[in-house]
Amino acid sequence: MASILLQFPPPPRRSHLTVLEQEGQLKDAPESVPLSCLPDYPEITIQSERSCRLNAHYDSAQNAFLTHEQTSWKRSLHAWYSGGIVNMLEELSNAKEEVPFWLSTPSRAALSVVQKLKSFRISVFPQKSMSNDDLLTKYTHVSNWSRSPVQVLAWHPHVTKLAVALKDDSVVVYSSGSSLCPTLKHKLQKHVIDLAWQPLSASVLAVACQYCILIWHVEPTSLAVRPSSSTVQILHCGGCSPVTSLAWSPDGDHLISASPRHASIMVWDVPRETSVALRRDRGGGVSLLSYSTDGSKLFTSTLSPLF
């Protein structure tokens, strides 16, 4: 056990606090030294009104119409259009008094088989039945993510620049030696859970959102406090959402994304806005990505005992 602990950095000295990581080493400072006195690091102040999530409720257009009596056949057809064959089987099973015996009985039997298969699938992959909010809260990198005013932050690997995602779905970029702090906002930028700066570039930031990945181009020489939507690329994830982890290749040519709901990791060609899925034969979804120090290996953490 002692030999394993020797592989970790030592704790801070007595009356000292760990304040930063520099070149892979944890640095500490005396407790009496104000953090604002650290040279070449931006000072971050989070406004109280930006630490609240904006909850938007959307009503379906169906609510604008009054309900009226329909035959079981019309209800079954509508259930098939709106929710698929499972909803149609449920409607046929519930309307056994209106549906012939030779149709309601097979429908109940088929529905029972589907429900058993669904229960088995949930027992093997419980994340499939979780809501997006529960999924993000459980597999985020931040403790108490749903209540934290800071959702995630990311330091630039080469320059003193920090991106901070706040609870109101905005991302603020802080730089040393500059009082200008660009604020990144987009209508698709919801539930930000990870940020990743592109290596060998001072301006490209990837933002993992609930249904997509946004690639912001924040030029260091720009004086815009609120960059326009023309400076952002949208990578649509489709079934591979929500994205909970991002990782750039060491040369910055490709972006890797992962989702707890999908067993594959996606390799993105950002300029072309295309992706290729690297499939796994076993294991559940992928919740964490991390490149090795030399950039030769990519670690993927799954929701199963395998990784």
Tokens 């027992």: give the residue. 123
Fold of the CATH domain 133-302: Methylamine Dehydrogenase; Chain H (2.130.10)
User: What pLDDT score does 69 carry?
Assistant: 63
Indicate the residue type of 120.
Answer: F
Which residues, 6 or more positions from 140, have their beta carbon under 8 angstroms from its beta carbon? 151, 152, 193, 244
* CATH 2.130.10.10 residue spans of the chain: 133-302
- The angle formed by the CA atoms of residues 239, 244 and 250, to the nearest 5 degrees, is 105
Tokens 């309307």: give the residue. 95
Q: How far apart are the first and last CA of the chain?
A: 23
CB 266 within 8 A of CB 256: yes
- The angle formed by the CA atoms of residues 6, 11 and 15, to the nearest 5 degrees, is 155
Cis peptide before 100 (omega within 30 of 0): no
User: What pLDDT score does 180 carry?
Assistant: 86
Tokens 């229960």: give the residue. 119
The answer for 169, left when phi > 0, alpha when psi is -120 to 50, beta otherwise, is left
User: What pLDDT score does 56 carry?
Assistant: 47
The burial class, CB within 10 Å (0-12 / 13-18 / 19+), for 225 is exposed
Q: Which residues of the chain have pLDDT under 70?
A: 1-5, 35-39, 48-70, 73, 83, 96, 119-132, 280-283, 304-307
pTM metric for this prediction: 0.68
Q: CA-to-CA distance for 41 and 54, rounded, in angstroms?
A: 30
Q: CA-to-CA distance for 192 and 163, rounded, in angstroms?
A: 12
Kindly report the number of other CB atoms within 10 A of residue 236's CB atom: 12
